[in-house]
Structure 1
Amino acid sequence: MNLRRLLRWVSGTLATVGVAAAAIVALNLRGEAPLPTAETLQTTPALVAQGAYLARVGNCMACHTAQGGAPWAGGRGIETPFGVVYSPNLTPDPATGLGAWTSAEFWRALHHGRSKDGRLLYPAFPYPSYTHVTREDSDALYAYLQSLKPVAQANQAHALRFPYSTQAALGVWRALFFAPGAPAAQAAFAITTSSSSTPDYQRGAYLVNGLGHCAACHTPRNAMGATRDGQALAGGLIPVQNWLAPALTDPAQAGVQAWSEADVMALLQTGVAPHGSVIGPMAEVVYRSTQYLSDADARAMAVYLKALPQQAKVPSAPPAPPAASAMARGAKVYEAQCAQCHGAQGQGAKDEAGQPAFPPLAGNRAVVLADPTNLVRVVLQGGYLPATAGNPRPHGMPPFQHLLGDEDVAAVATFVRSSWGNQAAGVGTIEVYRARERRSP
Structure 2
Amino acid sequence: MKWLLRGFLAVLGLLVAGVAWWLFAQHHAALPPARTTAAKLQDPQLIARGAYLAAIGDCAACHTAQGGQPYAGGRALPTPFGDVPAPNLTPDDATGLGQWSFDAFWRALHEGVGRDGHALYPAFPYTSYTRVSRQDAFALFAYLRSLPPVRSETGAPSLRFPYDLRASLATWRTLYFRPGEFVPDPKQSAEWNRGAYLVQGLGHCNECHVARDNLGGLPKGETLTGGQIPAQNWYAPDLSTRAHGGLEGWRADDIVALLKTGQSAKGAAFGPMADVVTQSTQHMRDDDLRAIATYLQSLPPRPARAGGGSEVDATALISRGGKLYAQQCASCHGQDGQGVAGVYPPLAGNASVTEPTGINAIRVVLLGGFAPSTAAHLRPYSMPPFAQQLSDADVAAVVSYIRHAWSNDASPVMERDVANYRHTPVE
Q: Using structure 1 for the length normalisation, give the TM-score.
A: 0.84
* Greater shift in the superposed pair: 132-141 or 154-163: 154-163
Aligned equivalents of 1:107, 1:394: Cα separation in 2: 39
State the SS of the aligned residue for 1:367: helix
Contact 1:59 1:289 in 2 (8 A): yes
What displacement does 1:361 show?
Answer: 2.2
The yes-or-no answer on 1:395 pairing with 2:392 is: no
What displacement does 1:208 show?
Answer: 0.2
Q: Which residue of 2 aligns with 1:214?
A: 205
Q: Which residue of 2 aligns with 1:71?
A: 70
Deviation string, structure 1 residues 81-137 (Cα, Å, up to 9, x no partner): 111000000001011100111111111110011111111111100000000001110
Aligned residues: 397
What displacement does 1:363 show?
Answer: 3.7
Aligned equivalents of 2:307, 2:407: Cα separation in 1: 20
Q: Which residue of 1 aligns with 2:9?
A: none
Contact 2:322 2:398 in 1 (8 A): yes
State the SS of the aligned residue for 1:162: coil
Q: Which residue of 2 aligns with 1:255?
A: 247
State the SS of the aligned residue for 1:357: coil
What displacement does 1:272 show?
Answer: 1.3
Q: Which residue of 2 aligns with 1:57?
A: 56
Q: Which residue of 2 aligns with 1:39?
A: 36
Contact 1:35 1:105 in 2 (8 A): no
Q: Which amino acid aligns with 1:148?
A: L
Counterpart among 415, 420, 431 of residue 406 in structure 2: 420
Aligned equivalents of 1:95, 1:245: Cα separation in 2: 37
The aligned runs of 1:265-280 (5 Å cut-off) are: 265-280=256-271
Q: Which amino acid aligns with 1:403?
A: Q
Aligned equivalents of 2:296, 2:99: Cα separation in 1: 39
Deviation string, structure 1 residues 241-264 (Cα, Å, up to 9, x no partner): 1211111136444336x4332222
Q: Which residue of 2 aligns with 1:290?
A: 281
What displacement does 1:139 show?
Answer: 0.5
Q: Which residue of 1 aligns with 2:79?
A: 80
Contact 1:363 1:422 in 2 (8 A): yes
What displacement does 1:322 show?
Answer: 5.0
Cα–Cα, structure 1 residues 68 and 300, in superposed 2: closer, same or farther, change >3 Å?
same
Aligned equivalents of 1:31, 1:241: Cα separation in 2: 41
Counterpart among 166, 181, 192 of residue 201 in structure 1: 192
Aligned equivalents of 2:298, 2:233: Cα separation in 1: 28
Deviation string, structure 1 residues 153-187 (Cα, Å, up to 9, x no partner): 1111111112211121012211221110153557x
Gap regions ≥5 residues in structure 1: 1-28, 187-191, 350-354
Q: Which residue of 1 aligns with 2:235?
A: 244
Aligned equivalents of 1:295, 1:360: Cα separation in 2: 25
State the SS of the aligned residue for 2:208: helix
Cα–Cα, structure 1 residues 114 and 293, in superposed 2: closer, same or farther, change >3 Å?
same
Deviation string, structure 1 residues 373-428 (Cα, Å, up to 9, x no partner): 11111111111111111222211111111221111101111222233343332221
Q: Which residue of 1 aligns with 2:327?
A: 336
Contact 2:132 2:182 in 1 (8 A): no
Q: Using structure 2 for the length normalisation, give the TM-score.
A: 0.87
Q: Which residue of 1 aligns with 2:103?
A: 104
Aligned equivalents of 1:201, 1:270: Cα separation in 2: 22
State the SS of the aligned residue for 1:218: coil
Aligned equivalents of 2:96, 2:33: Cα separation in 1: 20
Aligned equivalents of 1:313, 1:125: Cα separation in 2: 33
Q: Which residue of 1 aligns with 2:15?
A: none
Aligned equivalents of 2:252, 2:404: Cα separation in 1: 31
Counterpart among 231, 235, 242 of residue 226 in structure 2: 235
Q: Which residue of 2 aligns with 1:137?
A: 136
Aligned equivalents of 1:250, 1:262: Cα separation in 2: 12
Contact 1:220 1:236 in 2 (8 A): yes
Aligned equivalents of 1:31, 1:121: Cα separation in 2: 23
* Greater shift in the superposed pair: 285-294 or 267-276: 267-276
State the SS of the aligned residue for 1:286: helix
Q: Which residue of 1 aligns with 2:346?
A: 360
Q: Which amino acid aligns with 2:75?
A: R
The aligned runs of 1:177-196 (5 Å cut-off) are: 177-183=176-182, 185=184, 196=187
Counterpart among 333, 347, 364 of residue 378 in structure 1: 364
